[in-house]
Amino acid sequence: MNPRLAVYETATLPLSYPGFVCILPNCYNKFMVKSIFVSPTKLTGIEDSGANHLIIVDIGLNEKIWGRFKKLKMDLSISVNAFGPDGCPANPEAKQKLFNKIQKALEFKPKEIWIDHFRFDGHWEAIKRDKIPEIHLDCRWCQGKNRAAVLENTAREIMSLVAGRCLTGYFAVPFKSEDLPELNAILGQKHDLIGKIFDLSSPMLYHQMINKPPIYVSDYVEWLANRTQKPVLPIVQIKSMPDDLEDTITEKEVTTVFKEAIKKPSLGVSFFYWTHALEKNKTGIIKKLFTSVH
Ligand SMILES: [Zn+2]
C-alpha cells in the first residue's frame, strides 16, 4: 500500500467508475467530503455550516487559532500559496519559500496540505476566446525550460518533503488540455503528470467565471479523475467573481452546481469560500445543501 495513505487506516476501497479505478484512502469512504475553504480570521457561524472538512489558508494561522479549529471536530487541511506573479516556479528562491511554508503547515499535523497557484503565472480566470491574459514570460530562470517538467520535478520534491505525514493535493486549473494547449505549455499544469504525483486534486470549477454551464463541473471531475487516477474534490463558487461583479448566482444555481459537483467519482464538494458566503448572506444555503446529503 502507498505509505502516504497509510497515515489513516489500512483498509481501502477501490472507487470504480467506467474506465476509472482508484484506491481511495479509507478516511474518504464513509462520508462525502463537505468542505469549505476558509480564512482563519473569518469564521462566524462555521460550526453550524454542516461541513465536515475545512481548507484553511495558512496566512495568519497560528497555534491558538488552530486550537479553535480543532474543537470543531472537522477534518482540517491547510492551503499554502506556491507561485504568484513575481515567483517563477523555476526560481530556486521561490521554490524554497514554498517548501518553508509546507514545513510550517506540517507542524499543525493537517489531514491534507493543498498547494495553490502551483503553476506558471497566467490569469486563467479571465480567459477570453481561449486566450489566457497576463501569462508569465520567459525569465532568466525558466528560459528554454519545459514548464510542465519544471512543475513535475517540484511536485516530486514536495512529496519527498511531506514524506507521508499527510496527504498532498493541488488546486487544478479547470480546463482540459485538449481544449486549451496553453494549460500545459504556458501554465505548465499538465494534469496527466502532476495529478499522478500528488495524492489528490481540487479543480477550481468556478463555472460562471469561466463561462461554463453547471454540467461542466461533473464532466470535468470525471475527465480529471481519469487523467490523474486519483481522488478529485471540486471547489465551486458561492457568489459571482471577481468581487466587483454584482452577485447573480441564485440559490437554485448553487444547488444545481452542488448536485453536479458531488456526482461520482467526486469525493464531495468544497465551497469557495466562507468569507463570500458571509458577505452575501449565503451561509444558510451551504448548510441546507450539506445537511441534505450524507
Ligand atoms: Zn520564469
Enumerate domains of the chain plus CATH numbers.
Answer: 5-291 (3.20.20.80)
CA of 149 to the centre of ligand 1 (A): 13
Q: Give the per-residue pLDDT at 4.
A: 43
* Preceding amide of 265 cis, omega within 30: yes
Q: Give the per-residue pLDDT at 2.
A: 44
Q: Give the per-residue pLDDT at 26.
A: 55
Beta bridge partners of 131: 128
**CA–CA dist 186, 135 (Å, integer):** 7
Mean pLDDT within 69-95: 93
CA of 91 to the centre of ligand 1 (A): 7
Whether residue 12 is predicted with pLDDT greater than 80 in this model: the reply is: no
Beta bridge partners of 15: 22
Query: Which of the four pLDDT bands, split at 50, 70 and 90, describes residue 283?
Result: very high
CA of 275 to the centre of ligand 1 (A): 32
CA of 85 to the centre of ligand 1 (A): 10
Whether residue 87 is predicted with pLDDT greater than 80 in this model: the reply is: yes
Give 26-77 pLDDT, tens digit per residue: 555 557 999 999 999 999 999 999 999 999 999 999 999 999 999 999 999 9
* Grid coordinates of 143: 528560459
CA of 141 to the centre of ligand 1 (A): 5
- For 4-18, 117-131, 166-180, 192-206, which range has the lowest pLDDT when averaged over its residues? 4-18
Give 180-214 pLDDT, tens digit per residue: 888 998 999 999 999 999 999 999 999 999 999 99
For 165-199, the three-class secondary structure string (H helix, E strand, C coil) is CCEEEEEECCCCCCCCCHHHHCCCCCHHHHHHHCC
The amino acid that residue 26 corresponds to is N
CA of 176 to the centre of ligand 1 (A): 23
Cα 202 to Cα 16, 35, 150, 173: the distances in Å are 19, 11, 21, 9
CA of 283 to the centre of ligand 1 (A): 40
Mean pLDDT within 99-106: 98
Mean pLDDT within 109-132: 89
CA of 145 to the centre of ligand 1 (A): 9
CA of 9 to the centre of ligand 1 (A): 41
Q: Across the chain, how many H-helices and E-strands are there? A: 9, 10
**CA–CA dist 251, 249 (Å, integer):** 7
